[in-house]
Structure 1
Amino acid sequence: MRSLAILAAAALAACNAVVPGGGEVEVSAAAVPGGFGSVEAVCDLPAGALGTEADSRGGWRLYDTQPGSAAPRAHHITGFDDGCVRRITAALVLFGSAALHETHRYSPANGTPWTATDEVYETVKARVCGVARQTPCPPDRLDRLERRVTFATAYPTLGGASEWLELMLDDGRLAAQSLRSN
């Protein structure tokens, strides 16, 4: 019965509710991450609460709060100019390169609709690489683009996910995010 009361208190706290009888329940934000598809800026997270570093790319670092778990959980990304981490709830988060994005996006077999993330990428790529829309960045300029742009892809479950969240990290900021689906 005690665990049911704790669960109810946590649910009330998550929606900023008040516990009957007065007083507010204080629940750590790290303990109750947002649902899949949400990206939260967390500016006061202690370094010890980040989790285990899972990957790094271009000044960005990805942390997993429960490595080895298949359950949705908090993942953290650092490297933002504002000094805050970004928290994503997902079963799996992976970093990817601009080259990987282009390979997938420009493939004739790719029928996935274009998103806001694709549009922002095309703008940045045109500026950095000097090429037109839907034209891959030339190999002699790709290193420059890859130092600047990193993608993070988050999946709600392991295997067979019909939707995923794609984040484009650029120049110290979250430049775009899109929820994609098959």
Structure 2
Amino acid sequence: MRAGVSKAGVTLCLGLSLGLMLAGCGDPLSEVPRYSDVPLADDTGQADALAPDTPRTPVTGDAPQRGLLGIFGARAAAATGDGGADAPGPAPRPGAPDAREVPLGVKLPYGQLARVCGEPKRKLGKQIEGYPAKGSKYVLYDSAPGTTAPRSFYLTGFKDRCARQFTAALVIFGAPESYEQLHYGPSGAELPVSSTDAAYEKVKSRVCRVRKGKPCGSKMRTLARDTVFVSVYERFGSNPRWKNILLHDGEVVAVDLKN
């Protein structure tokens, strides 16, 4: 299993989706340790067991491969036609990380998140993946599939019916089951607590009715329906920083920049 980040990055990000690797350019994820090397606790609640040999499906249509992304059950989302423009709903609260609205086509600096409203889905690019894999709540669009360069990505599935735009070379979905396998396992106590971690604890406590530091348990299926981490990488290869976005119930709950 390989990912284009350092081992520290792998232990802190969770994932599902991987952009296209250009033919002949080599694997930019070749130097990263296997995710299965991270020890997992025996009491991680209802989280699915990790399966290192599960096939992965690169989101831009390469031949299926095995490795890190297969662990999280990556699925390429089939395109579903043009899609009409949704009428925007209520905007996020003032000061929210996604409160800013921009017109389609604006290039955002890496690390920034903004809303794009009133545009048909066919203008967002190629639909490449959804989360969850079945009955996707959130759908990811790539504005320039076929390249590993930083470009605009768009996420849909929010209460206000506006897409969220950000710049990245690599985007990874991380299910809460996999997050808990890592953070509530033996190595979890050594990991720093970020704003997305703290926000997850609040969401998990509300939905699962468990105390801080404990796995969700029997309500994991409910939590996972609309809760996901999105890790946003600036480039292929080594990344000294990456953006983490926690989504829940059609809203951006928290955002942080990890180093």
TM-score interval, smaller chain = 0.7 to 0.9
Partner of 2:160, secondary structure, is coil
Paired position in structure 1 for 2:245: 167
CA distance in 1, matches of 2:209, 2:223: 11
Farther-moved stretch of structure 1 (106-115 vs 31-40): 106-115
CA distance in 2, matches of 1:160, 1:135: 32
CA distance in 2, matches of 1:117, 1:82: 21
Does the C-alpha gap of structure 1 residues 39 and 173 become closer, same or farther in structure 2, counting only changes over 3 Å? Answer: same
Match of 1:118 among 194, 197, 210: 197
Q: Which is higher, the Rg of structure 1 or of structure 2? A: 1
Q: Relative contact order: is structure 1 or structure 2 higher (C-alpha 8 Å, sep ≥ 6)?
A: 2
CA distance in 2, matches of 1:41, 1:112: 31
Return the offset for 1:39. 0.6
Return the offset for 1:109. 2.9
CA distance in 1, matches of 2:131, 2:196: 19
TM-score by length of 1: 0.77
Matched, 1:135 2:209: no
Amino acid at match of 1:91: A
The structure richer in helix per residue is: 1
1:25-174 matches, within 5 Å, as: 29-58=103-132, 59-110=137-188, 111-138=190-217, 140-174=218-252
Instruction: Note the alpha carbon deviations across 1:57-108, whole angstroms, 9 max, x for none.
Output: 1411011111231111000000111011000101011222011222233343
| Off by >2 Å, runs of 4+ in structure 1 | 28-32, 44-48, 103-112
Instruction: Note the alpha carbon deviations across 1:89-138, whole angstroms, 9 max, x for none.
Output: 01011222011222233343354421111111000101111211121111
Return the offset for 1:37. 0.7
Percent of matched pairs sharing the same residue: 36
CA contact (8 A) 2:104 2:116 kept: no
CA contact (8 A) 1:36 1:88 kept: yes
Return the offset for 1:30. 4.0
CA distance in 2, matches of 1:105, 1:30: 37
The structure richer in strand per residue is: 1
Partner of 1:71, secondary structure, is coil
Does the C-alpha gap of structure 1 residues 43 and 53 become closer, same or farther in structure 2, counting only changes over 3 Å? Answer: same
Partner of 1:77, secondary structure, is strand
Does the C-alpha gap of structure 1 residues 159 and 104 become closer, same or farther in structure 2, counting only changes over 3 Å? Answer: farther
TM-score by length of 2: 0.55
Amino acid at match of 1:53: Q
CA distance in 1, matches of 2:249, 2:142: 23
Count of residues in Structure 1 that have an aligned counterpart in Structure 2: 153
Partner of 2:225, secondary structure, is helix
CA contact (8 A) 1:64 1:74 kept: yes
